[in-house]
């Protein structure tokens, strides 16, 4: 008697397929936080490494010029059109050749102000080592205060929409700064005593030793602005900039900017 062979069709049933999908989903849910934590740990390590590299650049600057870079230079000068103006340059701009940014340093003319049209391309060029990978914030370009009011006013009308600059998440210590009984800022003990003060310092000036003295600090999150421990709108606070090292706001109790 002839037999009829029936071939069995191999494959997943709907139930088996759903079980497999559920298992894969559970595995992804378990692994994703671990992956995110690993990525964040890598970002934190990169951020710490940025601080170390900037610190090393400050030391290399000292080895070259026998002094640390001043926190900022402020002097009467001229703009690219020949008009008299205040010229401001911060230490992060001065140490660019020591963080492998010699090409950018060459196009940034320190004879002119950071807000001069001649320096517009330079001040809008991001520098990775000056940014913390964990910090939020888009392209990190912000409007800057125009003229000599930069960093000294909270008046939004002082903003110049034509002047922008990239952010930095690291700043240096210029000295102590406190509020007096009237709420005004004053230096302690009457002058800037930080390593990155306006005149520059050498190792002999660091009487507590380099291991006991703060040189740099991280202030990440630009363009998120803070005043009196509260987040405020970006048009109500001036920007602590890479190019000028001007503190963010005079009445900021949480972040005394570069005058810590």
For residue 152, the model assigns a pLDDT of 35
Q: State the pLDDT confidence band at 249, using cuts at 50, 70 and 90.
A: very low
- Per-residue pLDDT reduced to its tens digit, 120-139: 888 888 888 888 888 766 55
pLDDT tens digits, one per residue of 192-212:
677 887 777 888 888 888 888
Instruction: Examine residue 223 and say whether the peptide bond preceding it is cis (omega within 30 degrees of 0).
Output: yes
Q: What pLDDT is stored for residue 251 in this prediction?
A: 31
Give the pLDDT confidence of 164-183 residue by residue, as tens digits.
Answer: 777 788 888 877 666 666 66
Rounded Cα distance, 186 and 40, in Å: 39
The predicted pLDDT at position 245 comes to 46
pLDDT of 150 strictly over 70:
no
At 64 the pLDDT is 93
Q: Beta strands 225-227 and 176-179: pairing type?
A: unpaired
Summarize the confidence of residues 72-95 as an average pLDDT: 82
pLDDT band with cut points at 50, 70 and 90 for residue 144: low
- Residue 129 gets which letter from DSSP? G
103, pLDDT greater than 60: yes
pLDDT confidence of residue 7: 56
Token code pair at residue 56: 């090393």
| Distance, CA of 57 to CA of 127 (rounded, Å) | 14
Pairing of strands 159-166, 141-145: antiparallel
Domain ranges for the chain: 72-247
- Expressed in angstroms, the distance from the first to the final Cα of the chain is 100
CA–CA dist 259, 245 (Å, integer) = 9
- Give the pLDDT band (50/70/90) at residue 142: low
Q: DSSP for 17-42?
A: HHHHHHHHHHHHHHHHHHHHHHHHHH
């Amino acid at each position: 008697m002839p037999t009829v062979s029936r071939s069995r069709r191999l494959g997943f049933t709907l139930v088996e397929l759903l079980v497999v999908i559920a298992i894969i989903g559970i595995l992804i849910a378990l692994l994703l936080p671990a992956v995110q934590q690993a990525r964040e740990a890598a970002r934190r390590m990169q951020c710490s490494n940025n601080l170390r590299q900037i610190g090393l650049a400050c030391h290399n600057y000292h080895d070259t010029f026998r002094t640390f870079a001043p926190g900022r230079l402020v002097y009467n000068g001229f703009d690219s059109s020949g008009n008299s103006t205040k010229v401001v340059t911060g230490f992060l701009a001065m140490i660019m050749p020591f963080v492998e940014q010699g090409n950018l340093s060459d196009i940034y003319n320190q004879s002119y102000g950071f807000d001069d049209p001649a320096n517009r391309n330079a001040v809008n060029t991001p520098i990775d080592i000056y940014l913390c990978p964990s910090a939020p914030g888009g392209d990190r370009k912000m409007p800057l205060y125009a003229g000599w009011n930069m960093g000294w006013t909270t008046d939004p009308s002082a903003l110049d929409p034509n002047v922008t600059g990239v952010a930095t998440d690291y700043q240096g210590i210029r000295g102590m700064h406190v509020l007096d009984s009237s709420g005004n800022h004053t230096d302690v003990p009457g002058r800037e005593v930080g390593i990155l003060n306006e005149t520059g310092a050498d190792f002999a000036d660091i009487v507590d030793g380099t291991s006991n003295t703060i040189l740099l600090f991280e202030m990440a999150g630009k363009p998120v602005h803070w005043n009196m421990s509260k987040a405020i709108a970006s048009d109500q606070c001036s920007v602590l900039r890479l190019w000028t090292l001007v503190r963010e706001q005079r009445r900021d109790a949480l972040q005394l900017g570069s005058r810590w």
